[in-house]
Amino acid sequence: MHIPLRLLFVFFILSVTISQAQTHFDFHQMAKLSKKQLDYSGAVKMMNKAIELAPDECDYYVERGHLYLGLEKNKKALEDFKSAMSIDSMDVEPWIGKSLCHIYNEELDSALMIAHISYILAETQYEKARAGSLLGEVFMCKREEPKALEYFSESLRLDTTNNRGYKKAALIAMRQRDFDQAETLLLKALINDSRDLEILINLAFTYNNLEYYRQSLEYCNMALTFDPAEPLARSNRAYAYFQLGETDRALDDINQSIRSDKTNPVAHRYKGEILLAINEETEKACKCFNRAINLGYDQLDESELSVLVATHCPEILED
């Protein structure tokens, strides 16, 4: 079939027009949508296109840097934050991102120095809140919890939408076994983002410790609707089922959790307790407790686990 050259020219003009309709702003919006759907890789692809079209947009490098952090690609993240700083060295956000890279690389002295710079550069209330929360996070990693809470408190007073601050302050409360305070902080964070897996999982863990097992189940199930294989949600749900007497479900969930992540000390501790209760398989339970200790559970709650070990597995203490 012969197509007139005139018509081919019209098709060409239309295709060019359509392709040009996708501006850097369009790709940026598509990246935001992908991130909202937890598709960080897809979001990075959209940000790549946005940056190609607008290579001088400082914010785009910052946003892609945070996406890379979410994908655990710290080196690429650091490159993006440095690129953003080369465009605008007085912008607080690239400094915050760079400090986070050092936190994730466990370079805490460097992280603290850069966090202080971001705090000095901060001018608006929002920027002060962001930089203050970052300082809280660094001090938390350095196990200086009073200083961490001081900065988190200031940050949350300045910005009630700062979910990262709520989550980190809640972790300190959980570490100190102040689960009432952890619940308060996490519920405030949940108002801001009901799809955040970390919030849902930590609420479930908190309610297990408060012995509100049905509430724990509710938040586990919410987390598992977003990620059916999430091992922490499954281990928390297993413990809630166990405490509610649904031992078959508990054992199924805990086994699935451990298959997905063999390095979670909480899951091994829960499995040991479940085995003791339903089968009286002391030897297998003690192996689970031993794995939990080797993976660091005694650092999470030494007194709680030591009671189980001293009662059922004294030979572990002798080792």
Where the chain has pLDDT below 50, the residues are 1-3, 5, 7-21, 299-300, 317
Domain boundaries, the chain: 48-193
pLDDT of residue 224: 96
d(CA 72, CA 62): 15
How far is the CA of 20 from the CAs of 6, 28, 43, in angstroms? 21, 15, 20
The predicted-structure confidence for 243-258, as pLDDT tens digits, reads as follows 999 999 999 999 999 9
pLDDT of residue 12: 44
Domain 48-193 has CATH 1.25.40.10: yes
In sequence order, the 6+-apart residues with CB closer than 8 A to the CB of 19 are: none
The predicted-structure confidence for 36-72, as pLDDT tens digits, reads as follows 888 899 999 999 999 999 999 999 999 999 999 999 9
pLDDT of residue 210: 96
pTM of the predicted model, to two decimals?
0.73
Q: How many CB atoms lie within 10 A of CB 191?
A: 12
d(CA 315, CA 70): 42
pLDDT of residue 127: 94
The predicted-structure confidence for 192-216, as pLDDT tens digits, reads as follows 999 999 999 999 999 999 999 999 9
